[in-house]
Amino acid sequence: MKLADLLLEGGPQKSTFDDAEIELAYKDIRKSPEYYRIRAFDYVDVSTKIQQKRGNFEFRNDDKGKTYKVYAHGMIRVQGSRSHTKLTVPTLTDDDLFENYKIMLRRVGDIIEAAATGKTLKKVGNKPTANTLQLVNGELNIISQDIKTLVGSPNKVKNLKIVNNSYLEDLTGAPETVAGDVTIHNCWIKSLRGFPKTATSVYLSGLKELESLEGLPSTVKTIVISDCPNITSLDGLPESLTSLTLRALSLDTLKGFGTKFVKRCGKLDVSDVYAKSHMLALLIVSNSKTRTYYYGARIKDSYGVKAIKVLDIIAKHISKGKDGMIDCQSDLIDAGFDEQAQA
């Protein structure tokens, strides 16, 4: 089986090479110039015994807050303090793992050196081609398949689920009609371009590179957005919403949050969400079905002490809804949070 075919079928646990080939190539590559080049930039090889057995590397530099993971099956990923994304892999061989290691470690070394010296990297190709997308009981589930495109999908499905995909950059080619749910989790898509034209419920989580909600259809009634670190604006949310859940988001502002559309929501669930301004807007939409929660340690680590102080004040008054707005606004202003005191 070729590497490109393997990437379509499985995740980072599988390899085209047997255990003996992995053990030999893994041992030899640790003596190579490519390996020591990475180490020379103060990256420590922290590969666990399990990773080593599978032929995978993990290089970490705590001072720079970066971790590079190299998989025997032909994948490179980089993890920062608040991001985790795939790197494009140069063309690999189908029968020489040692050579593949050299190619991948050289790529990691180039990236590390470029970051240290300001050099410009050339982009490389070799993404896998699309697989055959099949329906099961009317549902299209694409789970742990690193496919490049959704072109070829059925035009109409009951539900669409895309989980654990490193190569899709958007949803071009996705089914136009989805009768029920669209779930996208732990993918590295950059935009919602090509999003199905119909869907009643949408679940977006663990999308580390997604920067905009533009593209959501007006048919959506329920939406959950969780752990999308590059989503800083709620522009693009449809006015048709009746249920909104926001979790672990850092937004630029909540200006207009309570007057544009959220006031129509019968259910609002906000957890570990912080905005740089207009946090008072949360009280406009507060009602008996509103839930707000934050975990102090997580907020402090992500947004700082100021965020905790603001959220403490909001939490004190949120149950009062609009009746608590004046008192909440006064407390925010007295604490020096004028921007947060705007609705």
pLDDT computed for residue 25 by the predictor? 93
218-227 CB burial, b ≥16 within 10 A, e <16: ebbbbbbbbb
**Joined tokens for residue 179:** 């009768």
pLDDT computed for residue 192 by the predictor? 96
> In CATH, what class is 139-334?
alpha beta
pLDDT < 70 positions in the chain: 1-16, 81-84, 119-134, 146, 259-264, 285-302
pLDDT computed for residue 147 by the predictor? 75
Whether the Cβ atoms of residue 244 and residue 269 lie closer than 8 Å to each other? yes
27-43 CB burial, b ≥16 within 10 A, e <16: eebbeeebbebbeeeeb
Q: Give the helix/strand (H/E) hosting 267.
A: strand 267-275
Whether the Cβ atoms of residue 113 and residue 38 lie closer than 8 Å to each other? no
What residues pair up with 259 in beta bridges, in sequence order?
none
Question: Using CA atoms, how far apart are residues 35 and 49, in angstroms rounded to an integer?
Answer: 18
Tens-place pLDDT, residues 186-238: 888 889 999 999 999 999 998 888 999 999 999 999 999 998 988 999 989 98
pLDDT computed for residue 317 by the predictor? 84
Strands 139-143 and 290-293, bridge-based pairing: unpaired
Q: Give the helix/strand (H/E) hosting 205.
A: strand 201-205
Whether the Cβ atoms of residue 12 and residue 137 lie closer than 8 Å to each other? no
Whether the Cβ atoms of residue 196 and residue 176 lie closer than 8 Å to each other? yes
Question: Using CA atoms, how far apart are residues 91 and 94, in angstroms rounded to an integer?
Answer: 10
Question: Under 8 Å CB-to-CB from 28, ≥6 apart: which residues?
Answer: 98
pLDDT computed for residue 131 by the predictor? 46
Whether the Cβ atoms of residue 144 and residue 8 lie closer than 8 Å to each other? no
Domain positions in the chain are 3-117, 139-334
For Cα atoms 262, 264, 265, give the angle at the middle one, nearest 5 degrees: 70
Assessment of whether the complete model's pTM goes beyond 0.75: no
Whether the Cβ atoms of residue 267 and residue 244 lie closer than 8 Å to each other? yes
Sheet containing 66-71, strands listed edge to edge, beginning at the edge strand earlier in sequence: 44-45, 57-61, 66-71, 75-79, 84-87
The single residue listed with the structure tokens 């470029």 is 114
